[in-house]
Structure 1
Amino acid sequence: MSAGADEEHEPALHTARLLLRPWRVGEAAVLHELWTERDPRVPPHRQMSADGRPTVADLEESIRSNPPTTVGLLAVKLVRTGAVIGYCGLVDSGRPVPGEPELAFELLQRHWGRGYATEASLAVMDWARSSGYGRLWATVWDWNTASRRVLAKLGFLETGQSEPDPAYGTTLFTMRDL
């Protein structure tokens, strides 16, 4: 993995198969597709609403109004084809420890099972380590076995801390020292 800037001088992370860089407005349809594919067990605030929100236009505006930062979700682009297939990055949710970011990733279903989530996450983890972070967190639903496997491959350990929700399942807290 190497950090650098792509042709438009955006911050970027590179792996053998992937380029991780800030989202572009023209890629809002990929985010929209991610929203439409989400498991129905995901809580409503992360689901497409009954009136179809967020729309592609909503997501375009969100990209336009949120400039890249050191903590954020980067578009994951396949080097071979140029297709954007999802996101990976760091979010600062303030839980469970304020100031310690959380690793997050989500890929379009047609790209599952090829190691892209693991590869992208390793790039983000290397960047986080080189940026001075000592630990990363990740939360995952107990029913999300695929993401739990990715986190285990990355060396994240379940902490025993969880947040049960009778409607949506239990959120498990995992962490990894860098």
Structure 2
Amino acid sequence: MSPVLETSRLVLRSRTASEAAVYRQLWTERDPRVPPHRRIGPDGRPTVADLAARTAENPGLLAVERKDTAEVIGYCGLVFPGEEPELAYELLRAAHGHGYATEAGQAVVAWAREAGYRRLRATVWDWNLASRRVLEKLGFRETGRTGHNLLAVREL
């Protein structure tokens, strides 16, 4: 079961299939430099229904909801591509520039520490300066690269 994390402005909680339209909007807003398999395809996929069906696939990813409006503005949480957890987050463009990614990330880092993890990883596109700044504020340090991705770690 996923936790409910609260900050002064946000609630991070389990994602639901009913929010799939928000997650599809994230796909439509992605930078054109993001690889095609992570953007809406020529066939219109993934659809809202596709994303609703996949909502439970990553229970460590949490909906980021604003407390003042109850609006879901993206997701933040942990994924497990290998042995160590990786921080992942994505917010709607309208939510950029308000410190929400950093605030949500701080809550997830604290959750990971309390859960007993010793280190978190993150990957970010080298051109994504805003996400690189968020990771820096969260205490991550860049450790290398693979292709166009920068790798970062944070000791807990």
Q: Does 1:21 align with 2:19?
A: no
Q: Percent identity?
A: 60
| AA matched with 2:44 | G
Residues 64-79 of structure 1 aligned to structure 2 (within 5 Å): 66=56, 69=59, 72-79=60-67
| AA matched with 1:117 | A
Give the aligned length: 156
Q: Secondary structure at the match of 1:105?
A: strand
Unaligned runs of 5+ in 1: 1-8, 165-169
Residues 47-126 of structure 1 aligned to structure 2 (within 5 Å): 47-63=39-55, 66=56, 69=59, 72-94=60-82, 99-126=83-110
**Shift, 1:35, TM fit:** 0.3
Q: Which string of whole-angstrom CA distances, capped at 9 and with x for unpartnered residues, describes residues 59-86 of structure 1?
A: 11112xx2674xx211000000000000
- Aligned pair partner of 1:12 in 4, 17, 35: 4
Which protein shows a greater Rg?
Answer: 1
In 2, the alpha carbon distance for the partners of 1:135 and 1:10 equals 19
Q: TM-score normalized by structure 1?
A: 0.84
| AA matched with 1:75 | A
In 1, the alpha carbon distance for the partners of 2:5 and 2:52 equals 23
Q: TM-score normalized by structure 2?
A: 0.96
Q: Which string of whole-angstrom CA distances, capped at 9 and with x for unpartnered residues, describes residues 127-147 of structure 1?
A: 000000011011011100000
Q: Does 1:147 align with 2:139?
A: no
Unaligned runs of 5+ in 2: none
- Are the structure 2 counterparts of residues 132 and 48 from structure 1 closer, same or farther at C-alpha, using a change threshold of 3 Å? same
